[in-house]
Amino acid sequence: MYNDKVLNIILGGGQGSRLYPLTEQRSKPAVPIAGKYRLVDIPISNCINCGLKRMYVLTQFNSASLNRHIKNTYHFSFFSEAFVDILAAEQTINSDKWFQGTADAVRQSMHHFLNNDFEYALILSGDQLYQMDFNEMIKKHIESNAQISIATQPVTAKEAPSFGILKSNTEQEITSFIEKPAMDQLEGWNSEVTPEMKNQGREYLASMGIYIFNRDVLIDLMNDPDTVDFGKEIIPSSINKHKVVSYQYPGYWTDIGNIDSFFEANLNLTNDLPEFNLYDKEMRIYTRARMLPTSKVTGSDLKNTVISEGCIIHAKKIERSIIGIRSRIGKASVITNTYMMGSDYYETLEEVEKKKIDIFMGIGENCIINNAIIDKNCRIGDGAQIMGGNHLENQETDNYVVKDGIVVIKKGAVIPKGFKIG
């Protein structure tokens, strides 16, 4: 509907330190989610579902796996203008620095964007979980004669310090904006919301980090090299100069900025009726097509569990867990409240039968695992116990990290037989 008018820019984020160690060897948009997808699949799929198929993904840290994923996943007709291109930070005549913030990333990449014909730039985050019809937002942007539109959603006072909070008038024009206010700054920043939102304590209108800019306005704003961030500088300074409009999005949306929010967003997918609907045929989530066999489950008690393709499972019990592609779980093991990302490859029958490997890929026999994230290609020895919870202090070792009671087993880590965490 608007593909010839809109250019989509997906911000891959910085170093992703809040998602460490999941970002130790990969960029934030490449972090696996829901057992078979990558975070970057969410904004890309939303764009594709809306018929918006000209996309740039901006990144600068550990971008090899992200490049590989996008190259192997998003193929369009040779006769269309559709593309998903990676733009990594690069040295140019005008700049020899890394991206200094969200706005600086767009500024340094503008020469690539301007090679395309577009009237509006849709700027998205690469670390959020939502299903949104961008056409509705674009339509409202055009109808209201806005120069900048910001997607917004009510949040609670507890959540407000993590977001940009704004106030708008009856015409939805944004009149004031404050970036990540402290709790003692919130007085007077509550907005008029629906009775349902008010009952939930969600009275503060937060920026979702989803923006629409008119082309000429974006070009003008990018001329100031001292403004490096949209939330901290560009948006607040634009309110009195341009018509900035709030687009309130009523659906499910969550920011996946840290280990805790990432963990909960994944485990919430195991609910009977999850708020994020992977089964919506109108809003599909696309990812790399893998020719994997069906999963095989033997003698396991499964409850609220999502199992991806190509798994071999003999566990005694799995509850409220996500099991990623090519996962192997041994006999008598009990897995609860866990996101197991799976493996990138299978070990051969020869390796398994001749026991050339001391600890096989996946989770061994008689293991007990709770409140954990197990990254790709990990080996958990027989009898190991990984018991996350609030009783654990934050810590890091060579093989795992504990953050807010969640044990994160690092990618490719080997946990010895009988080893205990917690």
Q: What is the tens place of the pLDDT at every residue in 93-130?
A: 566 666 667 888 888 889 899 999 999 999 999 889 99
For the chain, the first-to-last Cα distance in angstroms comes to: 54
Would you state the pLDDT for residue 95?
60
Is pLDDT above 80 for 80? yes
- CA dihedral sign of residues 58, 21, 18, 327: positive
Is pLDDT above 90 for 148? yes
**Where is average pLDDT lowest: 232-236, 294-298, 315-319, 389-393?**
232-236
Q: How far apart are CA 359 and CA 348, in angstroms?
A: 14
Would you state the pLDDT for residue 64?
83
Percent of residues, the chain, with pLDDT higher than 70 = 96
Q: How far apart are CA 209 and CA 186, in angstroms?
A: 20
What would the CATH number be for the domain defined by 296-421?
A: 2.160.10.10
Would you state the pLDDT for residue 103?
84
Which DSSP helix (H) or strand (E) runs through 42?
A: helix 41-49
Give the number of other CB atoms < 10 A from CB of residue 234. 23
Would you state the pLDDT for residue 418?
97
Looking at the structure, give the CATH architecture of the domain made up of residues 6-270: Alpha-Beta Complex (3.90)
Domain with CATH 2.160.10.10 in the chain: 296-421
Confidence band of 92 (pLDDT split at 50, 70, 90): low
Q: How far apart are CA 259 and CA 403, in angstroms?
A: 7
Structure tokens that stand for 305 in this block: 């569990």
Is pLDDT above 80 for 414? yes
Would you state the pLDDT for residue 368?
98
Would you state the pLDDT for residue 287?
96
Confidence band of 209 (pLDDT split at 50, 70, 90): very high
Determine the distance from the C-alpha atom of residue 347 to the mean position of all C-alpha atoms in its chain, rounded to a whole number.
Answer: 29
Residues 372-392: b if buried by 16+ CB within 10 A, e if exposed: bbbbbbbbbbbbbbbbbeeeb
Q: What is the mean pLDDT of residues 180-209?
A: 89
Q: How far apart are CA 167 and CA 174, in angstroms?
A: 6
Domain with CATH 3.90.550.10 in the chain: 6-270
Q: How far apart are CA 204 and CA 250, in angstroms?
A: 14
Give the number of other CB atoms < 10 A from CB of residue 60. 18
Q: Which of 4-18, 47-61, 408-422 has the highest mean pLDDT?
A: 408-422
Which DSSP helix (H) or strand (E) runs through 103?
A: helix 102-113
Q: What is the mean pLDDT of residues 266-272?
A: 97
Is pLDDT above 70 for 387? yes
Confidence band of 88 (pLDDT split at 50, 70, 90): confident
